[in-house]
Chains A and B, each alone.
Chain A
């Protein structure tokens, strides 16, 4: 099978390699770079477990070909260790019991971070709609929604507004 050479940035570090055209981004990161925090749940873009950031925007890594990521900046959950919003979300997820088995969690964090950055003053239902691309089988979403809402509201209360141009348009 023909191979494609790609060069991209992963969690701030330059990465180069050759991939088969059929290799998806999740497999590339997990198998080639041992970034196993990106979890694969369905491999057809429905469950959201593999959600990560491509150029700062949440995306499904299971239906993104690695070969299509030439020049892209990828951020996986491992790259969010020192991210301000992710740090607040991690504390809120623990406090609100927003994870049980933890398998959907990295994808949830990627989407929740986007909600916190992007949405101004959403209702709980708005947040539920915004998070509806991520499935969780354990928590009934109660803690996830509470945690996301609480971080968003705390930031707005501290005068931190939504970031123009952040995340999904």
Chain B
């Protein structure tokens, strides 16, 4: 027993150490940083989606002084994010536009003044001479012959084609064949804090210091050094408190490079803070997918095969470091989800369009894939006359198959997917819902029940990313852990915590091993100067990777502490234990404080042969297999659909989730709640539309609707804890999962509700307009049965 200390280790809902400063408005976000002489930057941005740049007219008195165009940026390389995937076409994103602009909001000139308002006054003085070109505003249009070309030398608008075929012909004789077209809207990840950068040149350190709200400060450092031709020692990236990421802050922006360049020349700190219009329309969007999918099945609901073509709208440029292709290429490998079936074919295109680049958003391609696959499972169920959960149970990977390699060679580490689904169905009480549907509603609304299940590959490492060949490939994740002279602990990690609570949870990991109280442990992150290299926070990897690194390093520290403690206890370096923060033998004990005091303050008391590493170590961690942990969840939801207004209300929501061992259940629940809210936004509200000239149509939060307190129910969450066999403590990554399944579950519930009307929806968000259109189309089909289904 570890007594009181045990309450702070793995599995304890320790309250967060980061809360107090944030609750008192004393956090430090990029916009809060004040440096003497700081000036503000505003950018002149392209008003057109696609145009040839004839001239950028800058008033002569300001050129090179307060206003800078591309010609002024000597020695700056464009941002290039390649992949190693065969056939990938490279885009070059100039940090300020040179001869062409390819998206609304593309940077054309940089203006610097005492305040942002004054910098915007300067921006208004710049005149643009642009020749508008036809725009590619839609990913399907992008692939048509004769479409305008973004990057002329490519010859088409395709960053990459990806394909896989596993014996698809064997499915063609299946008695059930269902084809649907599915679309998901372009979205903005919309963290409450936008991007922002403060840059200053430090003469004493001969170093550019870039404060930027980033999920991956070390990767930004790589990119800045590459674009500006600097040595790494000359670049320090600090990511302070960050107001939400969700993938949006996993990018090197042209603005970062521009400000770094400016700071090196102007002799004072400079700052750019993204406004909401820039965030929504210019920097990066995500998640716009198109699927044409055919499912083959037997009459008993057994899946025989899936045949799919898909397009992902990748925008104008390949973003650094994730590239334009991660999403579409992943669609090929993850579309089968948690199902085991024998035949599969999938081909995808990463389409270039005149829109801002895309980034992987919480769940990456999985949200769209889950939506598509799960709507198809329900369509099969309707066709064969079974309950959808029965079809799922027939096709899910079974627990006795674990570990399991699926049809695309994804390695499922552990889990009991059917059990998760059964628990969700029990919690939502399917028979009661069916009975309620029979009775009908007094208000005329239609009740529907839907569910979905997915798997989430998390913390996937070298073996996965080496194949992608993008600008970052995760290797061993390192942590530095050291005992301080007073017996406290410092942990240094290269990942970044921006809401995940790692200042608390990583301390819990160390507490589990060393017994040092959490409030005596400092977690340092977000500064390339003080932390080991890391690809950062993405892919639900931090609990597994950084947690694993802290555990590994803490075990080394335990050995070192025991070595010194053994000497102090005159145990001759022999058998001692570390319990509750004390080194103990059968006859005595010595505290970590005393061990630390001896190493740092009274080295004269140490024997000659003591381990010279002292009480500090840096060590790396990789799971036993680095192909990723597989967490998963079953979601079930009851909806009420108003067939007159098209409105959808969520009446009950249940989540059964398996994230392996939970380090801090309170924090995990928070991730699930937050993911669900974002998934509801994807399902019902959020949509970044463009008109046919490539103009973004949602540039405020009044147009781009985020779910508020009245739109998000409090779900019931049930945890299964199937340990991963490959990670420290059996932890699995779960940061993204909550956002993956909601559109699928809600979509199935809506289609279930609309079934009496013969209507089905296959496009998110499922807005009132789309609900009413689906109902209208069903009525027209019923009136003239010759009209083809699925129009």
Contacts and interface: CB of A to CB of B under 8 A. Distances in A.
Interface of A: 20, 22-23, 30-31, 34-44, 46-47, 49, 76-78, 81, 90, 93-95, 97, 99-106, 109, 125, 127-129, 131-132, 134-146
Interface of B: 15-16, 18-29, 31-32, 34, 115, 117, 190-193, 241-246, 275-276, 498-501, 666-667, 669-670, 673-678, 700-702, 706, 708-710, 712, 714
Contacts of A94: 15-16, 19-20, 23
Contacts, number: 168
Contact of B702 (A30, A44, A105): A44
Contact of B115 (A31, A90, A135): A31
A103 B191 contact: yes
Contacts of B499: 100-102, 138
Contact of A78 (B16, B25, B676): B25
A90 B16 CA distance: 12
A8 to B, nearest CB: 19
B31 A36 contact: yes
19 contacts: A23-B117, A31-B115, A36-B32, A41-B276, A42-B700, A42-B701, A43-B275, A44-B276, A49-B192, A100-B244, A100-B500, A101-B191, A101-B243, A103-B191, A132-B709, A134-B709, A137-B678, A138-B244, A140-B675
B192 A144 contact: no
A36 B245 CA distance: 20
B192 A46 contact: no
A40 B30 CA distance: 12
B546 to A, nearest CB: 17
Q: Say whether chain B's binding surface is mostly helix, strand, loop, or mixed.
A: loop
A3 to B, nearest CB: 13
Contacts of B19: 90, 93-94, 99, 102
Contacts of A46: 700-702
Contacts of A100: 244, 499-501, 670, 674
Contacts of B275: 43
A104 B701 CA distance: 15
Contacts of A146: 714
Given A22-B117, A43-B275, A97-B670, A129 B244 contact: no
Contacts of B20: 90, 94
A2 to B, nearest CB: 14
A90 B23 CA distance: 6
Contacts of A142: 669-670, 673, 712, 714
Contacts of A22: 117
A141 B674 CA distance: 8
A140 B700 CA distance: 21
Q: Which among A31, A93, A127, A135 has the highest number of chain B CB atoms within 10 Å?
A: A135
A37 B669 contact: no
A77 B669 CA distance: 27
A34 B100 CA distance: 41
A149 to B, nearest CB: 11
B31 A41 contact: no
Contact of B276 (A37, A43, A125): A43
Nearest to B16: A94
A44 B701 contact: yes
A122 B127 CA distance: 56
Contacts of B674: 100, 137-140
A16 B16 CA distance: 38
B770 to A, nearest CB: 23
Please list the 6 inter-chain residue pairs (A to B) with the smallest Cβ-Cβ separation, ordered nearest first.
A37-B25, A102-B22, A103-B243, A100-B499, A77-B25, A140-B673
B352 to A, nearest CB: 29
A137 B670 contact: no
Nearest to A105: B22
A132 B564 CA distance: 57
B192 A103 contact: yes
A1 B784 CA distance: 67
A40 B196 CA distance: 12
B192 A37 contact: no
Nearest to A52: B25
Q: Which among B15, B190, B675, B708 has the highest number of chain A CB atoms within 10 Å?
A: B708
A76 B276 contact: no
B684 to A, nearest CB: 14
A103 B15 CA distance: 18
Given A38-B25, A94-B23, A136-B677, 7 more contacts: A102-B27, A103-B192, A128-B710, A134-B708, A135-B708, A142-B712, A142-B714
B709 A145 contact: yes
Contact of A102 (B243, B276, B702): B243
Given A95-B15, A105-B22, A34 B708 contact: no
Contacts of B670: 97, 100, 138-139, 142-143
A101 B16 CA distance: 11
B46 to A, nearest CB: 21
A124 to B, nearest CB: 9
Contacts of B192: 39, 41, 47, 49, 101, 103-104, 135-138
A146 B673 CA distance: 13
Nearest to A31: B115
A99 B666 contact: no
A22 B116 CA distance: 12
Given A38-B25, A100-B499, A139-B674, A30 B708 contact: no
A81 B23 CA distance: 9
A144 B500 CA distance: 16
Q: Which among A34, A104, A137 has the highest number of chain B CB atoms within 10 Å?
A: A137
A129 B84 CA distance: 50
A74 B615 CA distance: 50
B711 to A, nearest CB: 9
A135 B708 CA distance: 6
Contacts of B15: 94-95
Contact of A137 (B21, B244, B500): B244
Contacts of B32: 30, 36
A87 to B, nearest CB: 10
Q: Which among B16, B21, B500, B670 has the highest number of chain A CB atoms within 10 Å?
A: B670
Given A42-B700, A129-B710, A137-B192, A101 B31 contact: no
A112 to B, nearest CB: 11
B706 A137 contact: yes
Nearest to A89: B23
Contact of B191 (A44, A129, A137): A137
A143 B673 contact: yes
Nearest to B738: A140
Contacts of A47: 192, 701, 706
A102 B18 contact: yes
Contacts of B117: 20, 22-23
B243 A44 contact: no
Contact of B246 (A44, A125, A137, A139): A137
Given A47-B192, A93-B19, A138-B674, A101 B702 contact: no
A128 B714 CA distance: 11
Nearest to A24: B117
A111 B27 CA distance: 19
A80 to B, nearest CB: 8
A140 B673 CA distance: 5
Nearest to B33: A36
Contacts of B676: 140
Nearest to B191: A137
B214 to A, nearest CB: 13
A97 B117 CA distance: 37
Contact of B23 (A49, A105, A138): A105
Contacts of A129: 709-710
Contact of B714 (A38, A135, A145): A145
A123 to B, nearest CB: 12
Contacts of B666: 97
B23 A140 contact: no
A144 B276 contact: no
B244 to A, nearest CB: 4
Nearest to B242: A101
Contact of B710 (A43, A81, A125): A125
A44 B700 contact: yes
